[in-house]
Structure 1
């Protein structure tokens, strides 16, 4: 109801009822289309988030490997740790 006609108004004609029904069906069709559009957008975002999570996991693993490699390099006595190196201008 759009507020123009009380629900029990007996003066409502068949044409008025048909017009209101057509308007409601039109609104419903637009809402269904909008809902379908939102559903597709949500599915695309879900796929994108899953892809970004996989990329994040892969990069995190690579970073751990690099840190592990750096730690092993600093354990080598022949290579000084970066904090122990003297800059060339000293």
Structure 2
């Protein structure tokens, strides 16, 4: 009878560990999904900022410390 009780306790312990691991895996999955969303958003933002800098550089006048043409 003690073998049955021991086996039952071991199965219960394994089931509890499995349930805990399922919760942990789901939490990690949600965290990773949120991080990828944030990475995608930041990547788009960096790309947009690069484009804005290129645009600003192309519309900017020449260097400010350039000597005037009469020198």
Same fold at TM > 0.5: yes
Uncovered stretches (5+) of structure 2, i.e. residues with no partner: none
1:52 aligned partner? 42
Number of matched residues?
A: 67
Cα RMSD over matched residues? 1.6
User: Could you tell me the TM-score, scaled by structure 2's length?
Assistant: 0.87
| Correspondence for 1:30 | 20
Cα distance in 2 for residues equivalent to 1:30 and 1:16: 21
Moved over 6 A (4+): none
TM-score (normalizing by structure 1): 0.69
1:83 corresponds to which of 57, 65, 68: 65
Ranked by relative contact order (alpha carbons within 8 Å, sequence separation 6 or more), the top structure is: 1
In 2, Cα distance between equivalents of 1:17 and 1:40: 35
